[in-house]
Every structure is written in structure tokens, then in C-alpha cells.
Structure 1
Amino acid sequence: MQSDDLVLLQQFREPATKEQAFTGILKKYQEKLYWHIRRLVVDHEDANDVLQNMFIKVWKGLENFREDSRLYTWLYRIATNESLSFIEQQKRKASVSLDEVGDVLSNKVKADTNFDANKLEWKLQLAIQQLPEKQRAVFNLRYYDEMPYEEMSRILDTSEGALKASYHHAAKKIEAFILEN
């Protein structure tokens, strides 16, 4: 574990420095986690809500963090689980099929004023939204965060081989989508 993370964890366990340490963790990881969540849930407001819920869970659970993994890995696991839970809740609320969820997320991408329909990045985002949630999480962690499979294995609680296969299938689906559209 990184020494600055160890210091933050030690400070968090002390009542006098608990809030300061949590603020340090927020500052260090908030932006990376926001973008990880945003790539999964697409919408800015939704990403902020998921991030906020995620940090509430971190605040409540950090004292019990056993340091079996890096703090970064633990945070990403919570962010991923919160994102996937949020998507499941959205599906239940809207009572839509898996295919329709991809359409809903694609429409959010299309409505985002930051995307230009003629740019490859926009097509990539549309393609990513067509993937099943877990495959999308694997693709995002590997492609955007350049996370090693070993680290992803700890976050997603899946074997490295399964993650490699999932990433490969996701990349093939994305490639096909971009070529067809």
C-alpha cells in the first residue's frame, strides 16, 4: 500500500484527525472515481449521486478496512458495485429490458452537449453503452484506467482469465458497432 494511504488510514482512525484524513482521501481519489462511475452510469448528475453514496459507504466502512488490498482497489470496488446497483435500480424503476437500457444510455450520450456525433470518441461512448454492465465495467477499467487484470480481479472478484475474455469480447463488440455505425 502507498505510504500516503497508510498515513491517511492511520489519521482516519484517530478521532482528532478523522475528518481531515477523509478529506485527504476524497481529494486524492474523487476525480478518478467520478470518471470511473460516469463512464458506467453516463449522466453527470447520476454519477455525482453514485459518487456521494459511495463515499458515504466509505466513511462508514473505512474503520473496518483490513488493508488486505490497496485503498485504491477497495475504493474502486465500492464505486463499481454502487454503479452497478444504481443501474439495476434504474432498470427496475423503468422496468425496461436489457436492450432498452443500452438505448436509454445511448440516448443520454447523444443528449450530452460535450459529445460531437462526428467524432470517434462519441461513437466509442455509444458502443460502450451497448455492452452489458459488467462487460462495460471491465472495458472501462482496462481501456480508460489502464488497470492491470490482477487489480481488476480484486475489484470485480472475478478471475483474470475471465476478465481478459470479457475485455476481448467487449473490444470485438465495440469494433463491430463502430464499423457498422
Structure 2
Amino acid sequence: MDDEKVFIAELLNPKTRETAFRQLVARYGKPLYNHIRTIVLNHDDADDVLQNTFIKIFRNLENFKGESKLFSWMYRIATNEAITFISQRAKKLGLSTEEAQQKAILNLKADDYFEGDALQLKLQQAIAILPEKQQLVFKMKYFEDLKYEEISEILGTSVGALKASYHHAVKKIEEYIVNN
């Protein structure tokens, strides 16, 4: 039995669940935070979404079927939580999702945890004009250096479609940066 299957068995066993879940949080907290942060942009928002993600993971461990890797399953939950957060925030502010993302980008300058320069802000603005799927694919590939196969498992999309999305995203971003 491989390590992941043993770890999943520990997560599902009521006697070892709490300890195994602490290990899961320690192992995946930072990568999941970074993934969420690329989507929601703000540090405090990313922390909130990360907490919600781990709550959802904990509550749904019994539903994990092992059809994908644990990593992919958790990233899918984190991605959905981040997208839901953005949609809810936009709705609360009476804005479209795109307008809410543009507002979040403007707020990046004031975010103490943002270490980027003017070019990084321009890149974020360019990413924000992309359709949601292209944004996700670009961020996962560019910022997180995930393989297309991993992104495919997370988003439930074919590798070919992901490559096309990434290519289109890069072209649109290049065009935006050159023209703005």
C-alpha cells in the first residue's frame, strides 16, 4: 500500500483522524494558501478562504473516493471556495465578478503582503480581464508551476483544452501589457 493510501486511511479512521488532519494542514496549508491567494489576491481573504477550505475538506473526507489524488481533490475544493468567495464578495458590493477583481487589484497596492512592483500589478490587471477558466489555468501554470495533468484533475478539463486556454491567456496578457 502506498503512502497516500495509508495517509487517507489514517484520515478516515476516527482514532487517527485528528492527528492525520493536523499533518494534512501542516503539509498542504502553504501550497493551498498560495493557490487561493493567486485567485482572491488579498492576504486576509486568502486566510479566510483557506480556513473554509480546510473545514470543507474535514467535513467531506468520507466522500473522497480516491479517483484522483488527494492533492487534486483538495485543490478543487480550494479553487471552488475561492471562486465562491469572489462571487459572493462581488454580489455584496453590487459589482460584477470582473469589477470586484479589478477593485481587488487596486487594493493590492495597500496590501502589506503584496511584494510586487508596477509590472506585477499590470500583470494582475491583465489576468483579471481573462475569462474565469483562462485565469485559473494561467495562474495554476504560471504562478504555481503545476503540470497540465494536475490542472486537468483539479479542474476536470482535458489537457488539450487546458493547453489551448493557457495559450489564449498568454496571448491576451501579452496584448494587454503591450497596449496599456
* TM-score, normalised by the number of residues in structure 2: 0.89
CA distance in 2, matches of 1:57, 1:116: 31
Q: Which residue of 2 aligns with 1:33?
A: 32
Structure-to-structure mapping, 1:1-181, within 5 angstroms? 3-113=2-112, 114-118=114-118, 120-181=119-180
Segments of 4+ in structure 1 off by > 6 A? none
Q: Is the CA contact 1:153–1:160 (under 8 Å) kept in the aligned structure 2?
A: yes
Equivalent-residue separation in structure 1 for 2:55 and 2:98 (angstroms): 31
Could you say what the CA RMSD is over the residues aligned between the two structures, in angstroms?
A: 1.9
| Structure 2 counterpart of 1:36, one-letter code | H
Identity of aligned residues (%): 49
Letter in 2 for 1:133: E
Does the Cα contact within 8 Å between 1:105 and 1:129 map onto a contact in 2? no
Matches of 1:111 and 1:179, distance apart in 2: 25
**CA 1:173–1:112: 2 relative to 1, 3 Å:** farther
Structure 2: segments with no counterpart, 5+ residues: none
Shift of 1:75: 0.7
CA contact (8 A) 1:141 1:147 kept: yes
How many residue pairs were aligned? 179
2:60 partner SS: helix
**Residue identity matched to 1:61:** N
- Would the alpha carbon gap of residues 67 and 87 (structure 1) be closer, same or farther in structure 2, given more than 3 Å must change? same
Contact 1:136/1:170, CA 8 A, preserved across alignment:
yes
Structure-2 separation of matches of 1:69 and 1:101: 32
Give the gaps of 5 or more residues in structure 1. none
Q: What is the alpha-carbon distance in structure 1 between the residues aligned to residue 9 and residue 66 of structure 2?
A: 11
CA contact (8 A) 1:115 1:122 kept: no
Give the whole-Å Cα distance in 2 for the aligned partners of 1:99 and 1:121.
18
By how many angstroms is 1:98 displaced?
A: 4.3
Aligned residues of 1:77 and 1:156 also touching (Cα < 8 A): yes
Query: Counterpart amino acid of 1:141?
Result: M
